[in-house]
């Protein structure tokens, strides 16, 4: 197998892997409250702080996916996302659809 073919095969596998993650994340977010899903997604992609230190997000999550929305950091992100959430609903844009677009958008 040439190097070029091997590289193309690897790139296709990476794209398939990314797509599988997008599908898994879409199903994960669809199973929860839309505002909470929005807060989790936006925190994951926008928070630049250490989630175990400065931001404390990870200390407020039990068993990797049970979020305590009554704790300070989660409450802050939930409140920050509320205007966006309400604006989406006012424009008849479902949070699920909005999250799917965000999941497919590369963020560095
Ligand atoms: Zn964080």
Whether residue 108 is predicted with pLDDT greater than 60 in this model: the reply is no
Number of domains in the chain: 1
Ligand 1 centroid vs 47 CA: distance in angstroms? Answer: 5
Give the pair of three-digit tokens for residue 12: 């296709």
Ligand 1 centroid vs 44 CA: distance in angstroms? Answer: 7
Ligand 1 centroid vs 83 CA: distance in angstroms? Answer: 20
- 43: number of Cβ within 10 Å: 21
Domain enclosing residue 48, as ranges: 3-104
Ligand 1 centroid vs 40 CA: distance in angstroms? Answer: 10
pLDDT in tens, 62-79: 987 899 999 999 999 999
Ligand 1 centroid vs 54 CA: distance in angstroms? Answer: 8
Ligand 1 centroid vs 87 CA: distance in angstroms? Answer: 24
Ligand 1 centroid vs 9 CA: distance in angstroms? Answer: 35
Band (21; pLDDT cuts 50, 70, 90): confident
Task: Name the strand (E) or helix (H) holding 62.
Answer: strand 61-62
């Amino acid at each position: 197998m040439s190097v070029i073919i091997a590289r193309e095969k690897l790139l296709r596998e990476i794209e398939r892997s990314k797509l599988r993650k997008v599908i898994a994340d879409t199903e994960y977010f669809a199973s929860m409250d839309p505002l909470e899903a929005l807060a989790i997604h936006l925190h994951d992609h926008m928070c630049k702080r250490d989630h175990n230190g400065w931001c404390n997000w990870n200390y407020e999550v039990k068993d990797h996916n049970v979020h305590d929305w009554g704790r300070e950091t989660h409450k802050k992100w939930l409140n920050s996302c509320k205007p966006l959430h309400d604006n989406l609903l006012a424009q008849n844009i479902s949070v699920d659809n909005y999250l799917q677009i965000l999941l497919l958008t590369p963020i560095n």
